[in-house]
A and B are shown apart, each in its own frame.
Chain A
């Protein structure tokens, strides 16, 4: 320990923003300084107040404050140490078949009448053995597709198996909502089951992106309203995929979500995956265009909040992670990614993937990212190769980034776009998207933009009640 105590300071990072220098410590605690702070830091010319600011960040320490270092160490290790696998979220694809053919379909779905794309009794038996070994406590099962409601019989059997081998469970059916049969409705009546669907905007946008038919688009909206009326807003959620059809008109999209009664929207760019690689090739690589859309949307969402609660899911997630240290389960927005630690995806053929995007890349034969299957179990060697890359704390670019402690690492997206993940991070889609959002948030903090800070506080508490907890920011 004596080797590094002689330096009297711990690792920190900085970024120039809004005419200030933002400084973060190893765990993401932050403070703001004048632009000449670094020169003065290394020339021992800090004011007493600045010394105290650095001490409070556990960056500067002396013999009387070594405890700060121990505290920092404990927090770093809590964030990064390897934890025992405890799966609590399983995404299942009981069928790859789908009755729609969306322009951006990321998994290259199979035609609705094709054979060989559904789970069989053999898959069910292997799934039961697999989850029996996982010793599940509470588990959430998300039925993805294809369109999972094409096989309600399989869904019912999977639910039975899950209930048998977990202490408690809940279920999500990701459906395109084109059809609600009595068999599907029987499932929807369960209290432990919710529905997630895709609504990309107006009827014409839905037709352009998803259905190729105004009648089918209208039917989806009718079914959505039916579910909403019969079961209430907690039963169903929706999210859009942003394509050329919406990117220049965020207001129209947001108006539709407000009119449908939503209090949240997850603005998702079209991924560079599956069919989108061809159908939305240019847009899926234009990060500046995405960032512009995102800023316009956030400004509109701020206005919506003058009369009601309404958040943007991803910004809220990031804010809660920065200011409340709230953990999240997204493998592409945490570091270490810890693939297969708490989440896994099981495909229609029994192959196991660390994320849905990894499944997508494998499906189009870009790279085989399966990390096992229901037959032979998890391929720990292959998984550890992925996990070795899924950590930003050691990446030669990320280690210098002020946002490293708050950010994640998305090696699956890097592989998809650049065919490798040892790329210059500042040039990647993921890094540019993240940097833009972090700069947006921290610029509001640095300039003490009260209107935005009030909104951040409300999103952190998921409440419309005003809060004066501005000390959370600085």
Chain B
């Protein structure tokens, strides 16, 4: 059965939704991620292996959002560190 989860993304993370979706698509190849202004929608087959657990994927979406935000905000500093 097809399942759809919609996750609201807070305003300060709007500009990292796209890179987050790219990375989530790579980590969850069996799920389809899409954005709708300030939400991320996840579509997946509920009974497909490996099983996707809603609680886990919700947490992963938020963690990937935080990671993308940290990456974007601190990229100039990382360049300075490693130049």
CB of B76 within 8 A of CB of A3, answer yes
- B78 near A11: Cβ-Cβ < 8 Å: yes
A65 within 8 A of B: no
Query: Which residues does chain B contribute within 8 Å of A72, judged by CB atoms?
Result: 81
Task: Give bound CA distance, A394 to B82, whole Å.
Answer: 9
How many residues on chain A are close to B (CB under 8 Å)? 27
A38-B63, A42-B69, A424-B26 known; A7-B74 Cβ under 8 A: yes
Please state if A4 and B77 are interface contacts (CB–CB under 8 Å).
yes
- The reply on A9 being an interface residue by CB < 8 A is yes
By a CB distance below 8 angstroms, the chain B residues around A424 are: 26-27
Residues of A close to B78: CB separation below 8 A: 11, 26
Neighbouring A residues of B10 by C-beta, 8 Å: 42-43
The distance in angstroms between the C-alpha atoms of A393 and B73, with both chains bound, is: 17
Contact partner of B70 among A1, A3, A11, A43, CB < 8 A?
Answer: A11
A residues less than 8 Å from B59 (CB atoms): 16
Known interface pairs A400-B71, A424-B26; A11-B66 also in contact (CB < 8 Å): no
Contact flags A17-58 to B (C-beta < 8 A → 1, else 0): 000000000100000000000110011000000000000000
Where chain A touches its partner, the secondary structure class is helix
Evaluate whether A77 and B67 lie within 8 angstroms (CB atoms) in the complex, with A4-B74, A9-B74, A42-B12 already known: no
| CB–CB A399/B71 < 8 A | yes
Q: Which residues of B contact A399 (CB under 8 A)?
A: 71
For A8, the closest partner residue in chain B by CB is B73
Does chain B have a CB within 8 A of A76? Answer: yes
Q: Given A38-B63, A42-B12, A424-B26, are A4 and B70 also a contact pair (CB < 8 Å)?
A: no
Residues of B within 8 A of A38 (CB): 62-63, 66
Say how far B75's CB is from chain A's closest CB, in angstroms: 8
Cβ–Cβ contact A9 & B73, under 8 A: yes
Q: Which residue of B has the minimal Cβ distance to A38?
A: B66
Chain B CB within 8 A of A295 CB: no
Is A348 an interface residue, CB under 8 A from the partner? no
Q: B65 → chain A, closest Cβ, in Å?
A: 9
* Residue A73 lies at the interface, judged by CB distance under 8 Å to chain B: yes
Among B73, B80, B81, B82, the one with the most A-chain Cβ atoms within 10 Å of its Cβ is B81
Range of interface residues on B (Cβ < 8 Å): 20 to 34
Other-chain contact of B66, A10, A14, A76, A426 (Cβ < 8 Å): A14
What's the Cα separation between A55 and B5 when bound, in Å? 37
Q: How far is the CA of A80 from the CA of B78 in the complex (A)?
A: 12
**Contact A7 B77, beta carbon cutoff 8 Å:** yes
Query: Which residue of chain A has the shortest Cβ distance to B64 in the bound complex?
Result: A400
Give every chain B residue within 8 A of A39 (Cβ-Cβ): 62
Q: Which of B67, B71, B81 has a CB less than 8 Å from the CB of A73?
A: B81
**In whole angstroms, how far apart are the Cα atoms of A7 and B74 in the complex?**
8
Query: A residues within 8 A CB of B71?
Result: 11, 399-400
Tell me the complex Cα distance, A12–B63, Å: 13
- A393 close to B82 (CB less than 8 A): yes
**Contact of A4 with B63 at beta-carbon distance under 8 Å, contacts A77-B81, A394-B82 already known:** no
* Chain A: minimal CB distance from B55 (Å): 12
Distance A394 CA – B79 CA, assembled complex (angstroms): 10
Q: How far is the CA of A9 from the CA of B72 in the complex (A)?
A: 12
Also in contact, A76 and B81, with CB within 8 A (given A12-B70, A38-B66): yes
- Inter-subunit contact B81/A7 (CB<8 Å): no
- Bound Cα distance from A394 to B78, whole angstroms: 10
Residue in A10, A73, A393 whose beta carbon sits within 8 Å of that of B74 in the complex? A10
Question: Would you call B12 and A10 a contact (CB within 8 A)?
Answer: no
Cβ distance A82 to chain B, nearest Cβ, rounded Å: 11
Q: Give chain B interface residues in 31-83, CB to chain A under 8 Å.
A: 59, 62-63, 66-67, 69-71, 73-74, 76-78, 80-82
Closest residue of B by beta carbon distance from A5? B77
Give bound CA distance, A265 to B50, whole Å.
37
Query: What separation, in Å, do the CA atoms of A173 and B51 have in the docked complex?
Result: 51
7 more A-B residue pairs beyond the given contacts A10-B77, A14-B63, with a C-beta to C-beta distance below 8 A:
A1-B80, A4-B77, A7-B74, A26-B78, A76-B82, A77-B81, A424-B27
Closest 8 CB pairs of A and B: A4-B76, A11-B74, A4-B77, A76-B81, A7-B73, A38-B66, A400-B67, A3-B76
B positions within 8 Å CB-CB of A: 10, 12-13, 26-27, 59, 62-63, 66-67, 69-71, 73-74, 76-78, 80-82
Q: List 5 A-B contacts (CB under 8 A).
A: A1-B80, A3-B76, A7-B73, A13-B70, A73-B80
